[in-house]
């Protein structure tokens, strides 16, 4: 998984935003999906987390390259019980430890993440670009 994310970053080299920009419509929007693990890497997902940290920088670069017609933002989801995170969220000890790190005392849902992406893609976010929105129930999120 980490290899795929890093490869994506390599493909999105410094020309990517400039190359894509002419093909994007005015007032268009791109939303990258990073992860809370980009801020603090879980032991079992260390390199995955590093690749997600890289997406924070990629968001800034693409936002600058694709402005002014296209906004580029990023969502950093917290832990959501999915097939991908099942080996963590399916373990009651690990799940409880993660829930305890959130202020809202629960894992996220796919709807929580979809709402954030919908907001950033909408006109309600028309003056937001180059930002990462952390959707992690208050879990600490600083580098």
Interface positions with ligand NAG (CB under 6 A): 91, 93-94
Distances (CA, A) of 118 to 30, 76, 121, 128: 11, 14, 5, 13
DSSP state of 46: H
Nearest to 97 by CA among 42, 35, 34, 33: 42
Work out how close the CB of 81 gets to ligand NAG at its nearest, in angstroms, rounded to a whole number.
15
Can you say how many angstroms the Cα of residue 1 is from the centroid of all Cα atoms in its chain? 15
Closest to ligand NAG by CB, 91 vs 115, is 91
Closest to ligand NAG by CB, 74 vs 98, is 98
Closest to ligand NAG by CB, 67 vs 94, is 94
Can you tell me the distance from the alpha carbon of 28 to that of 30, in angstroms, rounded to the nearest whole number?
A: 7
Work out how close the CB of 132 gets to ligand NAG at its nearest, in angstroms, rounded to a whole number.
28
Can you tell me the distance from the alpha carbon of 97 to that of 26, in angstroms, rounded to the nearest whole number?
A: 44
- Residue partners of 81: CB distance under 8 A and separation at least 6: 89, 90, 107
Closest to ligand NAG by CB, 42 vs 60, is 42
Work out how close the CB of 42 gets to ligand NAG at its nearest, in angstroms, rounded to a whole number.
11
Work out how close the CB of 113 gets to ligand NAG at its nearest, in angstroms, rounded to a whole number.
25
Among 48, 79, 87, 127, the one annotated catalytic: 48
Question: Among this protein's residues, is 48 annotated catalytic?
Answer: yes
State the catalytic residues. 48
């Amino acid at each position: 998984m980490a290899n795929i994310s890093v490869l994506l970053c390599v493909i999105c080299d410094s020309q990517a935003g400039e190359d894509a920009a002419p093909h994007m419509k005015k007032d268009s929007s791109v939303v990258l999906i990073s992860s809370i693990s980009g801020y603090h890497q879980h032991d079992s997902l260390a390199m995955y987390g590093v690749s997600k940290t890289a997406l924070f920088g990629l968001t800034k670069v693409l936002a600058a390259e694709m402005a002014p017609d296209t906004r580029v933002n990023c969502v950093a989801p917290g832990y959501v019980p999915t097939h991908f995170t099942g080996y963590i969220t399916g373990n009651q000890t690990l799940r409880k430890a993660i829930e305890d790190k959130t202020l809202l005392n629960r894992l996220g849902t796919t709807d929580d993440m979809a709402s954030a992406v919908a907001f950033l893609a909408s006109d309600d976010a028309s003056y937001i670009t180059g930002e990462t929105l952390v959707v992690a129930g208050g879990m600490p999120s600083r580098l």
